[in-house]
Amino acid sequence: MSRNLKENNRAPSHSMTSQRRLLLQLLRDAGRHIDAKELYRGANARDDSIGIATVYRSLSLFEELSLVEKVKLGDSRYYDIKQSPGHQHLVCSGCGKVIEFRSTYFDKLMQAVQREYVFKVTESQLYLEGYCSECEKRGKN
């Protein structure tokens, strides 16, 4: 992976530091979208030299290098290891949990819109906001 982080001699070098390695590992291990503060808490618990500024700078670099994707869901921003496109999100208004799902209905809707409007969609985002089963049980709705 360090090859992806190294630039040629004319551009700044982006070496794979132990802090960046840890942040990428935490993103992989999360297996879901997480926000920068959650990533910071996990990283700082393992290496107290990691500050929130390091997390944000690293996330920005990871985005630039197409290693992670940033997803804006409502007012929040979440990060995840870059995956193939084509999934949608459920966002819990109570606890902030983000659940990924794939819907053939959404795929069919997008195809129909492209045909009807003679428009090629290059990026799409769907998120549904509500309450997960745990928050529903706790009455956080």
Per-residue pLDDT tens over the stretch 105-141: 888 888 898 899 998 877 777 778 889 899 998 886 6
Neighbouring C-beta atoms of residue 132, cutoff 10 Å = 20
| CATH architecture, domain defined by 2-81 | Orthogonal Bundle (1.10)
Does pTM surpass 0.85? no
The tens digit of pLDDT for each residue in 97-115 reads 777 787 888 888 888 988 9
Residues forming CATH 1.10.10.10 domain(s) in the chain: 2-81
Q: Quote the CA–CA distance of 127 and 16 in Å, as a whole number.
A: 33
- Chain centre to alpha carbon of residue 47: 22
- The pLDDT score that the predictor gives to residue 2 is 42
Q: May I ask the CATH class of domain 88-138?
A: alpha beta
